[in-house]
A = this chain, B = another copy of it.
Amino acid sequence: MATDQLSVTFAALADPTRRAILARLAEGEATVNEVAEPFAMTLPAVSKHLKLLEHAGLITKGRNAQWRPCRLDARPLQDAAAWVERYRRHWEESFQQLDEHLRTMMKRTKE
Contacts and interface: CB of A to CB of B under 8 A. Distances in A.
Contacts of A7: 13-16
A46 interface: no
A45 interface: no
Interface of A: 2, 4, 6-8, 10-11, 13-16, 19, 22, 26, 72-75, 77-78, 80-81, 83-88, 90-91, 94-95
A87 B22 contact: yes
A94 B4 CA distance: 21
B88 A81 contact: yes
A86 B83 CA distance: 15
Contacts of A26: 86-87, 90
A68 to B, nearest CB: 19
Contacts of A22: 87
Contact of A77 (B15, B19, B77, B91): B91
A34 B10 CA distance: 26
26 contacts: A2-B14, A2-B15, A2-B16, A6-B16, A7-B14, A7-B16, A8-B14, A10-B11, A11-B11, A13-B83, A13-B84, A14-B14, A19-B83, A26-B87, A72-B87, A74-B91, A75-B91, A75-B94, A75-B95, A77-B84, A77-B87, A77-B91, A78-B95, A81-B81, A81-B87, A84-B84
